[in-house]
Amino acid sequence: MNIILTGFMGTGKTLIGKMLSERLSYKYIDIDTIIEEREKMPIVDIFKEKGEGYFRNVESNIIRETISQANKSVISVGGGAVLRKMNVDVMKKNGIIVLLAATPEVIYERLKCDTTRPLLKVNNPKEKIVSLLSTRNAYYYDSCNLIVSTNNRTPEDIVEEIILKLEIKWTEFREGGVEGCLQQKK
């Protein structure tokens, strides 16, 4: 079983992913890191030099290649990965999708000094966060199997909640089959 972490930028996917993988003795895979290694440049430069469309195509290819071959891995995907149905299909087929959620205010506080976020290189980044979340939230919530809030919580607490919810989900899966398990979001 793979555990795939989705959510908006700044929700903690990388930190939580690393901690969760260590706790479960799973491999940790960061899709954004693979993109930067393959493209030999930071994501902010890919956006600037080649555009978001190019980036999304590379991201989809790497998601398909990486996730379909992964096993017993915690995988962090970029915040916009769920916008493409083909990405969600690959994730659903190969793992349990955990949405890390946070409010726009919390996300802004976490990212206000981060210069590596190409979509936030605007005059009013807080407004951009609200706008992007209003567009993406339906995709996040529709694609996930579990939802965990990261608002004002320690990473350790978040990891514990994910593990507990995964144990419950795994029990539901064994008792009720795939459809019953994957349709519930608690």
Q: Give residue 171's pLDDT band: very low, low, confident or very high (50, 70, 90).
A: confident
The total of other beta-carbon atoms located within 10 Å of residue 62's CB is 22
Between CA 162 and CA 7 the distance in angstroms is 14
- How is residue 14 written in tokens? 């990388």
Measured distance between the N- and C-terminal CA atoms of the chain, rounded to whole angstroms:
19
pLDDT, one tens digit per residue, over 38-79 is 999 999 999 999 999 999 999 999 999 999 999 999 999 999
Give the pTM: 0.88
pLDDT, one tens digit per residue, over 78-121 is 999 999 999 999 999 999 999 999 999 999 999 888 777 877 87
- CATH classification at residue 144: 3.40.50.300
Q: Give residue 129's pLDDT band: very low, low, confident or very high (50, 70, 90).
A: very high
Domain count across the chain: 1
Q: Which domain holds residue 91?
A: 3-183
Between CA 93 and CA 90 the distance in angstroms is 5
Q: How far is CA 130 from the centre of its chain?
A: 18
Between CA 54 and CA 106 the distance in angstroms is 29
